[in-house]
Every structure is written in structure tokens, then in C-alpha cells.
Chains A and B, each alone.
Chain A
Amino acid sequence: MLDVTVKNGAPVAKDFKSDQEVRWCPGCGDYAVLAAVQSFLPSLGLEREKIVFVSGIGCSSRFPYYLNTYGMHSIHGRAPAIATGLAASRTDLSVWVVTGDGDALSIGGNHLIHALRRNVNLKILLFNNRIYGLTKGQYSPTSEPGKVTKSTPYGSLDAPFNPISVALGAEATFVARTIDSDRKHLTAVLTAAAQHKGTALVEIYQNCNIFNDNAFEHLKAPGEREAHLLRLEPGAPLAFGERKVVWDAARGTLAAVDASDERPAVLHDPTLQDPSYAFAVARLQDPASLSPTPVGVFRSVSRPTYDDLMDQQLAASGYGSQAPDLGALLAGADTWTVGAPERAVVE
């Protein structure tokens, strides 16, 4: 346990490290994300005590134990709901959710989409390793079709979720994807998410070296990754390897074509209010090969947050400016008096 001392001065990375021994498997992608988060949190300019990490169940959900902020390791799938209650009642806090592909998209899918549509001021980090790690290797709702695991010896039958599509379908106001091993990109995306007012969903491709090793290797290996990674930069053309993304007018959607195609590459714009464009970008990805894989910010738009709207309703009702009269509430409109009236009856 750390001694209780209220420090003066800006916190640094080590201030965000808890004294707990990290218990992920050696080589797990979670280490890289933890290191990135610990080193980027000081840049937020927030007091450490104002930051809360809430997680569900799964390997990634151990995350809060390793950060010296406030934290809650909750139950499977429910972190967005718990965090919603916290964020809606405490707008002074910076509330983060750490979840995984099973936690967020399988058992907790309902809470995820409703948090996104409400636009509660939450930052959701979805660690996607496309496998169930903590229960030792069953397929997950993001596993590629036909995945052979202990629970699917003949191959999985379900079509996977694309988490970005799900989030955009729920009209999330901030949706991004990044990769555990790319520290610079990870930090940039997390920073953008932190600065966003409203629910931010960041999908982080994270390697499970025990049960699904190298699931994203082709997106990481220098020399190979360029052919698959579609880096989303505001105002920049959508392009990867020898290909680019154009508007396919005949089909009414985006299409990846050879760089030699005469049509101009589409210029990325994450600020479009209509989520259709961002959805089309998300759908460029092939679910089996993960190629191309767009990374970066798909969508970042402004919409009032649930917690601010709730605060406004309370303020408009006089909360905070007028002392409420509990006695009047209890009495209501229709009263009568028995015996000597203790006070005048207001009728």
C-alpha cells in the first residue's frame, strides 16, 4: 500500500503505477497498453484522484489494479452500466472503461450500445484479441469465421462483429482503432479520445500470445503492414499499399481499388455528422483477413452528453439554486387536519 500523501505538482508516469504486481502472461499485449496509458495520463492535466477506471471481467479487466487512480474491477459485461451511473452523477470525474471483445461485445453488448447512443462522458478502451483468454481459449464474437478452438473443434459458425461497425451503428460520437504495439499511434488515439466530450470507443488490437498468437502480425510487421494498414488522417487521402479508396458511385459506397484508378482517393473526414461515411470506411475491412484494416479516428462529432443534459435538467428545476422544501413535498396538495391544527392548512 502506498502511503497517503497529497503531492503537489504535476503527476508523472510513475505516479500512475500502483504497487500491485502485474499478473498478465509474459509477452501479453496488455503490457504495452498499460505502459502507454501510464505514460499518457499525466498529459491529460488532470489530478490523479479525478480519474476512475472501471472494468468488467477478462484479462484486460485487471487493468485498474495496476493504475494508481480510483478503480473498480466489476462484473462481466457491466462496466459501461456501472460507469454510466458514476459519470452521470459525478461530472467532475474522468471515467474510463476497460473491456475486452467478450466482455464488451458478447455478455455486455447491450450496455455497450446503450452507453454509446446516450453519449455518456466515458472513454471505453476495448481490447480486442479475438479470443477468450481468461477462460483459456474459446472463440470470441470477433474471432474470424471458422475459428478452431476448444469449444469449436470443427470451426466456429458465427459471423464476427466488427466492433467499429457496432459502435457506429449505435451512432457513437467518437470511434477509433489502434494497435497495442504502435505506441505512438496508440498514444495519439488515446489522447484524442480523452479530449472528446462524450462516449469515446477505442478498439485496441491486442495480441494474446498464449491462445491467439500473431492474430494481428500482418498489421505489425514492418514491410508487410503497409499493404494492409489504412491510416486514417483527417484531410488525407484514404490509401494503403498500392491501393486507394474511391467513391464507387454505381454501388453507392466506398471501394478499394488499384492506385492507378483514375478516380480520386476519398479524403478522410471524421467530423461528418452522418455516420454512414465512417461506417463505409469500417466496412472496407475483410473480417477474415483483416485487410485492409483502417486505423485511426473514424468518427469524431459533437453532441450533448447525457450527464451534462441531466445536470441541466436538475439546474432548470432549481437544484443548486433554491433549497427544496421537503415538508411541502410530503404534504402534497390534499391534506386534512385531525384535532387541534398544528398549523394553518393550506388548501
Chain B
Amino acid sequence: MAMALQTAETGTDPADAERDSPGGKPVESLHRVVIRIAGDSGDGMQLTGDRFTQETAAYGNDLSTLPDFPAEIRAPAGTLPGVSAFQLHFADHDILTPGDAPDVLVAMNPAALKTNLKAVPRGGTVIVNTDEFTDRALKKVGYAADPLHDGSLDGYRVHRVALTSQTVKALDGHPLSRKEAERAKNMYALGLLSWLYHRPVDQTLRFLEQKFARRPEIIAANRAAFQAGWNFGETTEEFEVSYEVAPAALPPGRYRNISGNPALAYGLVAAAQRSGLELFLGSYPITPASDILHELAKHKAFGVRTFQAEDEIAAVGAALGASYGGALGVTTTSGPGVALKSEAIGLAVSLELPLIICDIQRGGPSTGLPTKTEQADLLQAMFGRNGESPVPIVAPRSPADCFDAALEAARIALTYRTPVFLLSDGYLANGSEPWRIPEVEDLPDLTVRFARAEEYQGSPFLPYQRDPHTLARPWALPGTPGLEHRIGGLEKADVTGEISYDPANHDHMVRTRAAKVAGIAQSIAPIEADDPSGAARLLVLGWGSTYGPAQAACRLVREHGGQVAHAHLRHLNPFPPNLGELLARYDRVLIPEMNLGQLALLIRARYLVDATGYNKVRGLPFTSTELAEEIQRILLEVEGA
């Protein structure tokens, strides 16, 4: 079945046109390519991948990336755990995933070949750096024989390139040590790939000039290595053809490439600007969330205050303190940090103050897989506090969507005076895609009204008197004359906010807090299923970063004649108001999740729907092929029923 399903996001996909390049070598046109660049952690693979991605973005392809790197900063050189890889999928059409399997693997050393070759289907292209295939290096990763010569690579199109020594040769005459010259081999590889896929190179050259502005000799060396790689492709017989992937017909607009963490950071800045509040980030460094702290720390000109706290608890505490003072309080973390913040989030529930908790999920439990992705914090966000402590949850579906998800989290937090979870994950955080840059005036207006003494002239200020529509309580800032009041984590009497241990009052307050969060559903657009046939009996329901693979899988199934509907949840708590009605329209509901069935548990409990899960926790996103196979399997059951 896997073979039958190869097209949309898998397998090589030649376009019709073929022509000769001005240099005389033939040029083959492709609709899409998946490249994986793998090497040692110290080889600059992520940088190389980033630059190739920027060139590809500038050329106008649609793209999706998946960095995959170890938790160790520099594992011992040349070892299997030290391999760092970067996968890029680019196409002349709209794509949704970083690609199931690479068409092209660049392996900078034996360890990179060993860990990545199994992902490349036979017939794929492998470019290897032969210089690193020494006896010692082979032995280090457990190769008994040299895979370049023992038949391991039979069935692949192999390009053997002496990347290291050719780089060193190209830099002859540059004032660099041999070691420094060797380090430029990633630029040589980037030059070769840029030639192979006709990438525009101006941005990369400009980038090198900016990055090494203070070291002109390094700029010169990197340029020379890059140029030598390009020339090698152009002149050598090793590469007989080059490839072209035409720009994609994306909706008109101005674009940039962006990954999830900066998109989330910009969304927070935009939310602060659109609400007229200062942004206060309390954060403690944790993978894979730290880049949000790094990004926001740059933007003091926007009134952004970043506070690197002594621990996760202080980070959320300070954010809540800032919210109390009238800022948009935010804390960013990953699952282990959420565990530590739970009590303070409960306090925010009780105080009914705005707060955004961004959980960039990673593999768990405990320290788990810090650099790998997972979606297993949903129930922690939903229930991980003492008492009845409801917290709204939103989740982005793609790297660029982190921007919109941050604005939506802020809207809910500010409108309803509540903590809100934003559940991103490691894949969204580090993966990237083109983003159509929004116009500032098109962003939602999040203007906040604080309580003023004038509104209460002659009558008492009641800190827990609620807005009848939203059930939100007034936000009275310290410094406002006449509204001095006390709040706290003890149960409060309805309306007055005074301490109350009255049984009926507690019951009423618990239900009121639950009703407030449930009522957010009234402000959420109804969920719609994507079902081109209108006749599907199976619904695939997803949340978070499974959007890309799930949508790609559904397209794949439809291309092969299957009928399947796809719906994706932005809001996990509360659910969209019509979700139950939508679910009831289908015979079967399939919920793919990178956990053991957390959304499925909620859906089954809430709607009494016999949803089934498709669950993988490998630290990697789903492939669209595996999901498509599961969908087809269920479709056969549905048809047979």
C-alpha cells in the first residue's frame, strides 16, 4: 500500500520540462525535492540548512523544514549521537510537511551516513564527503567495512566528493590554519547544492559579510569555499545534470521564511502593541523554548521587558505580578517547567488575571527528549493543577501559525481575565515555512479597559463583580486611586472578593470559573471540516503540529480516490461550539496525535464518540504516508461495514 500512495509528499516527482543550462549541462525540472544535510554537531549543518532554506525562500518555492539535532551541545566528534541533521522540503506548489523521506542525503561523515541512510529510499541520491571515511572514523561508528565500497550504497545514486580536501585546496593562499580551512567545508557543500538546485546566492554572500563583519579573512574564505563548491558542480563530470524547482504559486503578498519560536515571539509583541500594554516575559531557559526569550530580549524598543528568573516558578510568578500591574504577562517553557509552574497557574485562575503560558512541548516524561517533539502535555495543561482549575488552551498548527496563536491566546487572556495555555512543540518551534507577512492594521484590536474610580462614584468597588457576558472581573491596577483592594488564592465571596469559606459560595465560585472558561466558546468560530467530496464517512481530527501531515495524508488519500474529511482544532479548551455536531456527522473519527491518545480521551469523554487514535511518540512528526495508510485501512473497514 505504501508504494500505491507515493506522490504528494513522498518519492521523486519529475516535472515534464527538461532543458540545457547555459553551461551546457542538462537541467531537469522537478515539482518538489526533499534534501537532508547531515554531519557532525560541529560541522555547521543547521547553519547550512538555514542558508539553503533562505535561498529557497527567496527563490519563491513553498517549503517546510525539520531540524533534527542532539541534546548534547557537542557530542564527541564523529560519533553517532553527535549527528546533526537538517531536512528541507521545497516545491513549486503548496506543501504541508518537511517530507517523509529525503530524495537527497548529504552525509558529511560516516556517522551521518549510518544514522540517515535508512531514511533514504533506494534510488535516492547520496552525496558523501569521502575525506572523512577513514578507517578510524569508520571504526568509531561500527562500520566493519567501508560502506562506500562494500555494496551498502547499491541502488542509490552516489556522488563521492572529497569535500574537506577540496575546500582546503580552494583556500590555499588564505591566511588560515588547516583546521580553520576545513571548517569552511559546509560552505563548499552549500555552494555545490546551490548550483545543483539553481538557488540564488546573493543573500548567502550578504549573510556571510554580516556574520563575520569583524573578520574579513573569514568572509573571504567562506566566499571562496562557497564559490569553489558551486564551480565544482558546474565543471565536474560527477554531476551530469542540475535541477530546477519552479517558484510556487502562493497567494499574492510579501513573504518571509519563519520558524515557530520567532513567530510566537512576534505574535506576543504584536499582541502587546495591539492591546496597548507592555509585554513582560518571565522565563527560565529550557529547550526548546529558550529562543523565544532570546528573541523577545532584543525588542526593548517595543516596551518588552524580559526577566530571566531564578527558576520556572519565579518566571511565572513574576509574569503574574506584572499582569497584576497591568502588563501582558507571559511565561515560556516546556513540559518540565509547566510542572513547576502549576501552583502559580492555579493562583492566576483564582486571581482571574490575564497570563499566557507558552509550553513548547518536547518528549517526556521527566527530562525525556529535550530536542525532540511530542504533544503529550495536553492533559497536563488541561488538568495539571489542584482543585477545579480550568484554563483555556490554544494550539498553533504550523510554524507561521504560532504568530496567530499568540494573538488568540492574548485575546482570550485579556478578554476573560484568565491564564491561557499556548501549546506549541519542538517541531513547530524549529521547523520553518514561508509566512505571508500580515499588515499591522489587519491584526485584531485587543484594546483593554481597566477599571476607573469614576465608574464607581458613590458605590463600592467590587473586585469580583463580573461582566454579564464574559463573566470577566474588573482589572483594577495598583496606582488607581480609590480602587484599593485585596486579592488572593483563598476562596473569595462572589462579587465582593472577601475571603469566604461558605460551602454554597465555594460551589458557586467553582461553577462560575468553569462557566467563564466554557463561555469562551461563544467567541470561537465554528470548526469546519475540509471535505471536498462532501461524502466522507471518516473524519480525521487533529490539533497542533499534526496539521501538516494530516492534511497531506488526506490529500494523498483523495488523490487515490478515497473520501476523507479533515478538521483541525485551534482551541482545545473550550472546544468550538459546534464540535459535537460536526463529530456526529461521521461514522468514524480518527485522531492522530504524538501521544498515547490525549485528545481522543477528551473527545470520547465529552461527546461520547467512539474516536480512535493513531499514536506515535518517536520524537518526530508523523509522515504523511503512514497516516494515509492508516486512513485507507479505516476506509476499507468503513466500506466493508
The CA of A60 and the CA of B321, in the complex, are separated in Å by 20
**Chain A hits for B290, CB < 8 A:** none
Q: Which residues of B contact A50 (CB under 8 A)?
A: 478-479
Q: Does A241 contact B (CB under 8 A)?
A: no
Residues in A whose Cβ lies below 8 Å from that of B280 = 85, 88-89
B233 within 8 Å of A (CB atoms): no
Q: Which of B58, B301, B317, B437 is the one whose CB lies under 8 Å from A324?
A: B301
Complex alpha-carbon distance, A85 and B346, angstroms: 17
A143-151, A267-275, A309-317: which lies at the B interface? A309-317
> Which residue of chain A has its CB nearest to the CB of B297?
A313
The answer, yes or no, to whether A98 is at the interface (CB within 8 Å) is: no
**Choice from A1, A2, A89, A327 contacting B325 with Cβ under 8 Å:** A89
Q: Is the CB of B322 within 8 A of A78?
A: no
Highest count of chain A CB atoms <10 Å: which of B250, B301, B311, B482: B301
Task: Report B450-486 CB contacts with A as 1/0, cut-off 8 Å.
Answer: 0001001111111000000000000000111111111
Q: Which residues of B contact A110 (CB under 8 A)?
A: 310-311, 314
Complex contact B301–A70 (CB within 8 A) = no
A63 CA to B420 CA in the complex, in Å? 30
Known: A326-B269, A334-B58. Is A4-B314 also a contact (CB below 8 A)?
A: no
Beta-carbon contacts of A55-84 to B below 8 Å, as 1s and 0s? 000000000110111111111101001111
Q: How far is the CB of A336 from chain B (nearest CB, A)?
A: 5
Partner of A92, one of B251, B311, B479: B479
Q: Are B307 and A84 in contact (CB under 8 A)?
A: yes
Contacts A72-B324, A330-B440; is A337 near B301 (CB within 8 Å)?
no
Smallest Cβ distance from B109 to chain A, in angstroms?
30
Closest approach, in angstroms, between the C-beta of A145 and any C-beta of chain B?
29
With an 8 A cutoff between CB atoms, is B490 at the interface?
yes
B487 sits at the interface (CB 8 A): yes
The answer to whether B256 touches A1, judged by C-beta atoms less than 8 angstroms apart, is no
In the docked arrangement, what's the CA distance between A339 and B252, Å?
5
Listed from nearest, the 5 A-B pairs whose CB atoms lie closest are: A339-B252, A73-B488, A85-B321, A85-B318, A81-B317
| A residues in contact with B249, CB < 8 Å | 338
User: C-beta contact mask, A274-287 vs B, less than 8 Å → 1, else 0?
Assistant: 00000000000000
Determine whether the beta carbon of A71 is less than 8 Å from that of B487.
yes
Whether B209 sits at the interface, judged by CB under 8 Å, is no
Closest B residue to A15 by beta carbon equals B484
In the complex, whether A250 has a CB less than 8 A from a CB of chain B is no
Separation of A78 and B480 alpha carbons in the complex (Å): 25
Query: When each residue 110-139 of chain A gets 1 if its CB lies under 8 Å from chain B and 0 otherwise, what string results?
Result: 110010000000000000000000000000
Complex Cα distance A243/B273, Å? 64
**Do A20 and B254 touch (CB < 8 A)?**
no
Kindly list chain A residues whose C-beta atoms are within 8 Å of the C-beta of B409: none
Nearest chain A residue, comparing its CB with the CB of B249? A338
With A86-B325, A110-B311, A314-B300 as given contacts, are A339 and B253 in contact (CB-CB < 8 Å)? Answer: yes
Shortest Cβ distance from B311 into A: residue: A110
Whether the pair B486, A81 counts as a contact (CB closer than 8 A) is no
Do the beta carbons of B257 and A1 come within 8 Å of each other?
no
User: Which chain B residues lie closer than 8 Å to A65 at the CB level?
Assistant: 486, 488, 499
A314 near B250: Cβ-Cβ < 8 Å? no
Q: Is the beta-carbon distance between B439 and A327 smaller than 8 angstroms?
A: yes
> Digit string of A212-254 for contact with B (CB within 8 Å is 1, else 0)?
0000000000000000000000000000000000000000000
A47 touches B481 (CB 8 A): yes
Is there an interface contact between A329 and B318, defined as CB atoms closer than 8 Å?
Answer: no
Interface core residue of B324, B344, B487, B490 (most chain A CB under 10 Å): B324
Is A48 located at the chain interface by the 8 A CB criterion?
yes
Taking Cβ atoms with an 8 Å cutoff, the residues of B that contact A are 54, 57-58, 60, 203, 247, 249-258, 266, 269-270, 273, 278, 280, 282, 299-303, 305, 307, 309-311, 313-315, 317-327, 329, 343-344, 346-347, 351, 437-440, 453, 456-462, 478-490, 496, 498-499
Nearest CB on B from A126, distance (A): 18
Interface residue range, chain A? 35 or more
- List of A residues within 8 angstroms of B311 by Cβ: 110
- A85 in contact with B282 given A4-B460, A73-B488, A338-B252 (CB within 8 Å): yes
* A interface residues (Cβ-Cβ under 8 A, vs B): 1-6, 18, 20, 47-50, 52, 54, 64-65, 67-76, 78, 81-90, 92-93, 110-111, 114, 310, 313-314, 316-320, 322, 324, 326-327, 329-332, 334-343, 345
Other-chain residue from A52, A71, A78, A313 in contact with B344 (beta carbon distance below 8 A): A78
Instruction: Let me know if A48 and B484 touch, CB within 8 A.
Output: yes
CA distance A66 to B251 in the complex (A): 61
Contact at A81–B253, with CB atoms within 8 Å? no
In the complex formed, the residue of A with least CB distance to B270 is A326
The answer to whether B322 and A73 touch across the interface, beta carbons within 8 angstroms, is no
- Taking the closest CB of chain A, its distance from the CB of B548, in whole angstroms, is 20
Q: Which residues of B contact A320 (CB under 8 A)?
A: 303
Q: List 14 contacting pairs A-B, 8 Å CB cutoff, sorted by A.
A: A1-B496, A67-B486, A78-B343, A85-B323, A85-B325, A90-B325, A110-B310, A326-B302, A329-B269, A330-B438, A334-B57, A334-B256, A335-B256, A336-B256
**Residue of chain B at shortest CB distance from A83:** B321
Cβ–Cβ < 8 Å partners of A313 in chain B:
300
Q: Are A111 and B484 interface neighbours, CB within 8 A? A: no
Check if A337 sits within 8 Å of B254, measured CB to CB. Answer: yes
Q: Which residues of B contact A3 (CB under 8 A)?
A: 458-460
CB within 8 Å for A90 and B496 given contacts A334-B58, A335-B256: no
Assess the A89–B322 pair: CB atoms within 8 A. yes
* 17 extra interface residue pairs, beta carbon distance < 8 Å, beyond A331-B437, A334-B256, A336-B256: A4-B458, A5-B482, A49-B482, A82-B321, A84-B307, A84-B314, A85-B317, A85-B320, A314-B300, A320-B303, A327-B439, A327-B440, A330-B438, A334-B58, A336-B57, A337-B253, A338-B250
B302 proximity list for chain A (CB < 8 A): 319, 324, 326, 329
Judging by beta carbons under 8 Å apart, are A114 and B485 in contact? no
Structural contact, A337 and B307, CB atoms closer than 8 A = no
Q: Given A92, A93, A338, which contacts B253 in the complex, CB threshold below 8 Å?
A: A338
User: CA separation between A18 and B299, bound complex, in Å?
Assistant: 41
Q: Complex Cα distance A4/B489, Å?
A: 24
Q: Closest Cβ of chain B: how far from A215's Cβ, in Å? A: 27
Given contacts A330-B270, A338-B60, contact A317 B314 (CB under 8 A): no
Q: Report the separation of the CA atoms of residues A4 and B311 in the bound assembly, to the nearest whole angstrom.
A: 39
Q: Is the CB of B305 within 8 A of A88?
A: yes
For residue A87, which residues in chain B have a CB less than 8 angstroms away from its CB? 321
- Known contacts A6-B481, A326-B440; A72/B486 CB under 8 A: yes
Chain B residues with CB under 8 Å of A332's CB are: 256, 258
B322 touches A88 (CB 8 A): yes
Measured CA separation A84–B282 after assembly (Å): 10
Knowing A49-B479, A82-B320, A93-B479 are in contact, say whether A2-B300 is a contact too (CB < 8 A): no
Report B-chain residues with C-beta under 8 Å of the C-beta of A330.
266, 270, 437-438, 440
- Give complex CA distance A296, B459 in Å: 44
Q: Which chain A residues lie closer than 8 Å to B484 at the CB level?
A: 48-49, 68-70
**If the complex has contacts A4-B483, A81-B314, are A86 and B253 also in contact, measured as CB distance less than 8 A?**
no
Residue of B at shortest CB range from A66? B486
- Report Cα–Cα, A341/B255, bound state, in Å: 11
Are A84 and B252 closer than 8 Å at their CB atoms?
no
A234: min CB distance to chain B, Å: 32
Closest approach, in angstroms, between the C-beta of B557 and any C-beta of chain A?
A: 29
Known: A88-B322, A335-B256, A343-B254. A326 touches B273 (CB 8 A): yes
Name which of A52, A318, A320, A335 has the most chain B CB atoms within 10 A of its CB.
A335
Given contacts A4-B457, A78-B314, A90-B479, are A342 and B253 in contact (CB under 8 A)?
yes
- CB proximity of B273 to chain A, nearest CB, Å: 5
Q: Do residues A314 and B303 form an inter-chain contact, with CB atoms below 8 A?
A: yes
Report the separation of the CA atoms of residues A54 and B247 in the bound assembly, to the nearest whole angstrom.
Answer: 58
Contacts A330-B440, A338-B250 given; does A85 touch B482 at CB 8 Å: no
A54 to B322, alpha carbons, bound, how many Å?
12
Residue on B nearest A331 in the bound complex, by CB: B437
A4 touches B320 (CB 8 A): no
A4 lies within 8 A of B456 (CB): yes
Least distance between A24 CB and chain B CB atoms (Å):
14
